[in-house]
Amino acid sequence: MSGGNGHNGQALVRVEHLKKWFPVAAAGLSFGASHEWVQAVDDISFEIAKGETLGLVGESGCGKTTVGRTVARLYEPTSGKVVFDGQSIYDLPAEEMRRVRRKIQMIFQDPYASLNPRMTVGDIVGEPLDIHGLAKGDARKERIYQLLETVGLSREHASRFPHEFSGGQRQRIGLARSLAADPSFIICDEPISALDVSIQAQVVNKLQDLQEKMGLTYLFIAHDLAMVKHISNRVAVMYLGKIVEIADGFELYAHPSHPYTTALLSAIPIPDPTVEEERRRIILEGDVPSPINPPSGCHFRTRCRLAKPACSEKEPELTDRGAGHKVACWVA
Amino acid sequence: MDNLLRVRDLKTSFFTYAGEVRAVDGVNFDVAGGEAVAIVGESGCGKSVTAMSLLRLIPEPGKVLAGSVELAGRDLVKLKEREMRHVRGNDISMVFQDPMTSLNPVLTIGTQLMEAIRQHQKVEKDKARARAIETLEMVKIPSADKRLAQYPHQLSGGMRQRVMIAMALSCHPKLVICDEPTTSLDVTIQAQIIELLKDLKKATGMSIILITHNLGVVAGLATRVIVMYAGKIVEYGPVNEIYGIPQHPYTWGLLRSVPRLDAAEKRRLVPIYGQPPDLLKPPVGCRFNPRCDHAMKICREQEPPFVPVNGNGQHHVACWLQHPAAPAVAGFKKGVPA
């Protein structure tokens, strides 16, 4: 693929009009009454090229985690399509899905909750090998040692339990587990938010090294825009179930088009007092509206300082404004 | 500016079954009237325990072992518990990290605010109510009188944090300690809260101690910065100097390990290797030495003294690299503005 979408090479992951709505019981609901829906992910499309990192940012409740889980088919979608390596994964029967899932792995946010406290580190890392029947006996052991060393732990750690490790080390164990089945695509859901700053850099560098060495493709989900810009080739900004803007990381920072992106960028503090003193903040009023009954038209219009009457009538589509910089806004 | 708060040689330990954890080990600092001082460091460095020690809110098995905390000339460590209770809320108050767990979920906002006011000041109920509405307006909560009847779960995270700030300000304290006030909030809400704290500081003349690990938040709010590591202050000084000409390798590490949003090109992050020490048996000498790229023999043997740098009497650092006999480190000049 050339130029047009702002990335090189073949798309490994293609997400088309993905929707994931969750039913919620309305007040006073009885059997047979209609549900209300949390429109967690509402008609989003994007592509990730092979070897690329796509960053997905947004505030809590914007649906970014749901995107990650639905793309991995941990949630069944409400509608839409995900094409992974040429296969439409939602059409696959369970048995074939399991084979594809070997190639799609996840790293989770909470390194405390995502490791079974009763399993040894060796068994945690080795579990994907057992499930997919990849290695047995000595070969399995060797592979576990090799995986631990790949993420910067040592083979002695295999017989220990998760509670003996610090947060950063646990996140490495999660990383080793995700690498065990030899994936090509890893969904990183806030992999560093629970870690101290000095440890975050260790994990991020490790992720980058592994990508370079193994040609991995990442969907990097986080709320820390500075870190997302650092690790990603392209960045998608989500607001209330929609992607509002998607562009190359530097381009997005230099020329943000969507009013939400502009506000989000200006809200992020920069660790430099001289810069901070001169910055003009755009302070967004109020809070994110409920995804149960999102505003009509553009979801952001209730907090947007540029909103016009037209914004409440029709939903803006994500359109290409040149060089793969896509924006969904009537005004920008 | 006169010093409002003067902390000297503060030591707080926790006596656990495994032994004594020296969470705060000889800390000295001042806070001037109307000033915002930030304490930064990673989890477990003792920044929250320092704050709790100032208010004497250290839970068992912890204990303030030594030192003095002088607030406008009065040593809080020597006060009776009854007197201390009068200091909390009236003179020093606190805003906690998680507004959901620090508010009582079964009481209305109004009940909780009025309780705080009537606990500390002798006022009638309707006066307390008026005062509660006034403070909610001060923290820019719309339709404040209606909010009084609401419960915490009916408010968003940002609104709850505003209520916590209102509660802290309700008795006009001279000093407000904000312990990670924005950590659990989204960035756009964080920006709202930081702006609010700045405005309130200007309007009321209160002093702020801001405890955080977010170096960006510090840069926007504080005038002086204290960097803590493993229970000790390793560096303190004016905010411009801490960010512009940091002197301690740990401070360099903190600043280099976070990416900057305004970076013009991709630069590999420089992590600090290893992890913070176990405070049950902290390293001998400088506590940072096992993770320091520049550690020398003396760093593993003796604790470095605090020395002034830059000759303005404001900026101090505890590091052996400042010693005249220490070798030069590339890209860094000893105590001289770069």
State yes or no: pLDDT of A93 exceeds 70.
Answer: yes
Verify that A161 and A220 share a domain, yes or no: no
Q: Would A111 be classed as within a structural domain? A: no
Q: Which residues of B253-273 are buried (b: 16+ CB within 10 A; e: fewer)?
A: bbbbbbbbbbeeeeeebebbe
The reply to whether residue B188 touches residue A264, judged by beta carbons under 8 angstroms, is: yes
- The predicted structure's pLDDT at residue B332: 65
List, for residues A9-47, the tens digit of each pLDDT value: 679 999 999 999 998 866 555 555 567 889 999 999 999
- Give residue B334's pLDDT: 57
Name the pairing type of β-strands A79-84 and A87-88: antiparallel
pLDDT digits (tens, 9 = 90+) for A60-76: 889 999 999 999 999 99
Query: What is the DSSP-derived secondary structure letter of residue B329?
Result: B
**B140 is a domain residue:** no
Classify strands B175-179 and B19-32 as parallel, antiparallel or unpaired: unpaired
Indicate if A158 and A253 belong to the same structural domain: no
Cα–Cα dist B225/B239, whole Å: 6
Average of per-residue pLDDT across A84-97: 93
Q: Which domain-ending residue is among A182, A205, A235?
A: A182
Of A187, A318, A189, the residue nearest A247 (C-alpha): A318
**Residue A243 and residue A131 share a domain:** no
Q: Is B334 a domain residue?
A: yes
Does residue A31 lie within any of the structural domains? no
User: Quick one: which of A21, A15, A13, A79 has its CA closest to A241?
Assistant: A21
- Spell out the per-residue pLDDT of chain B, length 338, in tens: 578 999 999 999 999 998 999 999 999 999 999 999 999 998 889 999 999 999 999 998 999 999 999 999 999 999 999 999 999 989 999 998 877 788 999 999 999 999 999 988 889 999 999 999 999 999 989 888 899 999 999 988 888 999 999 999 998 999 999 999 988 888 888 888 999 999 999 999 999 999 998 888 999 899 999 999 999 999 999 999 999 999 999 999 999 888 988 888 888 898 898 888 888 889 999 999 999 999 999 999 999 999 998 888 899 999 999 988 888 876 665 554 33
Domain count, chain A: 2
Mean pLDDT calculated for residue range A158-168 = 91
- Alpha helical stretches, state H, chain B: 47-54, 81-90, 99-102, 109-120, 125-138, 144-147, 157-169, 187-204, 215-221, 239-244, 249-256
Coil, strand or helix at B187 = helix
Q: Counting beta carbons within 10 angstroms of the beta carbon of residue B307, is it exposed (0 to 12), middle (13 to 18) or buried (19 or more)?
A: middle
pLDDT score for A255: 94
Report the pLDDT averaged over residues A299-324. 92
- Chain A partners within 8 Å of B193 (Cβ): none
pLDDT at residue B204, rounded to an integer: 93
DSSP state of B272: P
- For residue B240, give the nearest of A227, A274, A281 by CB distance: A274
Q: Same domain, yes or no, for A210 and A309? A: yes
Is residue B288, in this structure, part of any structural domain at all?
yes
Q: Is the domain of A228 the same as that of A208?
A: yes
Check whether residue A188 and residue A224 sit in a common domain. Answer: yes
Identify any residues that bridge with B329 across adjacent strands, giving them in sequence order: B332
- What is the residue whose two structure tokens read 């003009």? A280
| Mean pLDDT value across residues A231-253 | 95
Joined tokens for residue B78: 């020597």
pLDDT, position A34? 63
Neighboring chain B residues of A278 at a CB cutoff of 8 Å: none
Task: Say yes or no for a CB contact (<8 Å) between A198 and B253.
Answer: yes
The domain spanning residue A229 has which CATH number?
3.40.50.300
Are A193 and A317 members of one domain? yes
A255 CB neighbour count, 10 Å cutoff:
13
Please, is B35 exposed, middle or buried when counting C-beta atoms within 10 Å of its C-beta (0-12, 13-18, 19+)?
Answer: buried
Q: Rounded distance, CA B15 to CA A179, Å? A: 42
Contacts of A121 (CB under 8 A, 6+ apart): A148, A153, A157, A158, A159, A160, A161, A162, A165, A173
Domain that holds residue A210: 11-25+36-103+183-327
CA dist list (Å): B232 to A320, B132, B228: 53, 39, 5
pLDDT of residue A277: 86
pLDDT score recorded for residue A9: 60
| Per-residue model confidence (pLDDT) at position B337 | 39
The band of A180, judged by pLDDT with boundaries at 50, 70 and 90, is very high
CA B117/CA B120 separation, integer angstroms? 6
- Among chain A residues, CA nearest to B275: A199
Predicted pLDDT of residue B178: 95
Tell me the range of A34-38, A122-126, A151-155 where mean pLDDT is highest: A122-126
Structure confidence at residue B143 (pLDDT): 87
Distance from A153 to chain B by nearest Cα, in Å?
12
Task: Check if A212 contacts B (Cβ < 8 Å).
Answer: no
Residues A212 and A68 in one domain: yes
Is the pLDDT at A273 greater than 70? The verdict is yes
Residue B62 domain-assigned (yes or no): yes
**φ and ψ at residue A233, rounded to 5 degrees:** -80, -50
Contacts of A198 in chain B (CB under 8 A): 42, 253-254, 257, 271-272
| Structural domain count of chain B | 1
Q: Are strands A234-239 and A53-57 parallel, antiparallel or unpaired?
A: parallel
Residue A46 lies in a domain: yes
Contact B10, B53 (CB under 8 A): yes
Residues A46, A15 contacting (CB under 8 angstroms): yes
Beta carbons within 8 Å of B56's beta carbon, 6+ residues apart: B64, B76, B77, B79, B84
pLDDT of residue A6: 42
**pLDDT score, position A26:** 62
Residues 6 or more apart whose CB falls under 8 angstroms from that of B110 comprise B129, B132, B147, B148, B149
Same domain as A174, residue A202: no
User: Cα separation of A309 and A108, whole Å?
Assistant: 41
Report residue B65 as tokens.
Answer: 């072992």
Domain of residue B237: give its range: 1-100+174-309+322-338
* Residue of A267, A274, A275 lying closest to B188 (CB–CB): A267
B272 within some domain: yes
Distance CA A174, CA A107 (A): 6
Instruction: Specify whether A168 is located in the same domain as A187.
Output: no
Average confidence score pLDDT of chain A: 90
Interior angle at CA B332, CA A270 and CA B211, nearest 5: 40
How close is the nearest chain B Cα to the Cα of A102, in Å? 30
Residue A225 lies in a domain: yes
3-state secondary structure of B25: strand
Q: How far apart are CA A18 and CA B137, in angstroms?
A: 43
Contact B216 A225 (CB under 8 A): no
Residue type, A241: G
Residues A211 and A316 in one domain: yes
Last residue of a domain, one of A134, A166, A182: A182
Q: How far apart are CA B156 and CA A288, in angstroms?
A: 9
* Residue keyed to tokens 């930081």: B194
Residue position matching structure tokens 């040609």: A215
Alpha-carbon span B271 to A202, nearest angstrom: 5
In a domain, B142, yes or no: no
What's B190's domain CATH number? 3.40.50.300
Three-state SS letters, chain A: CCCCCCCCCCEEEEEEEEEEEEEECCCCCCCCCCCEEEEEEEEEEEEEECCCEEEEECCCCCCHHHHHHHHCCCCCCCEEEEEECCEEHHHCCHHHHHHHHCCEEEECCCCCCCCCCCCCHHHHHHHHHHHCCCCCHHHHHHHHHHHHHHCCCCHHHHHCCHHHCCHHHHHHHHHHHHHHCCCCEEEEECCCCCCCHHHHHHHHHHHHHHHHHHCCEEEEEECCHHHHHHHCCEEEEEECCEEEEEEEHHHHHHCCCCHHHHHHHHHCCCCCHHHHHHCCCCCCCCCCCCCCCCCCCCCCHHHCCCCCHHHHCCCCCCEECCCCCEECCCCC
Please write down the HEC assignment for all residues of B56-93.
CCCCCCEEEEEEEEEECCEEHHHCCHHHHHHHHHHCEE
Contacts (Cβ under 8 Å, ≥6 apart) of A138? none
CB pairs under 8 A between A and B: 124
Tell me how far apart the alpha carbons of residues A119 and A127 are, in angstroms, rounded to a whole number. Answer: 10
Chain A interface test: which of B143, B159, B186, B291 (most A C-beta within 10 Å) = B186
Q: What are phi and psi of B160, to 5 degrees?
A: -60, -40
Angstroms from A129 CA to nearest CA on chain B: 29
Q: Is residue A41 part of a domain?
A: yes
Q: Are residues A157 and A290 in the same domain?
A: no
In a domain, B125, yes or no: no
CA separation (Å) from B262 to A221, A245, A272, B8, B220?
20, 19, 10, 39, 15
Confidence of residue A4 (pLDDT cuts 50, 70, 90): very low
Instruction: Tell whether A164 is within 8 A of chain B (Cβ).
Output: no
Residue A269 has its nearest CB partner, among B192, B219, B270, at B219
For residue B333, what pLDDT is reported?
A: 58
Nearest CA in chain A to B244: A272
Q: Which of A165, A182, A199 is the last residue of a domain?
A: A182
Does the residue A2 lie in any domain? no
Q: Where are the beta strands (DSSP E) in B213-303?
A: 224-229, 232-238
- Dump pLDDT digits (tens) for A197-230: 888 898 899 999 999 999 999 999 998 889 999 9
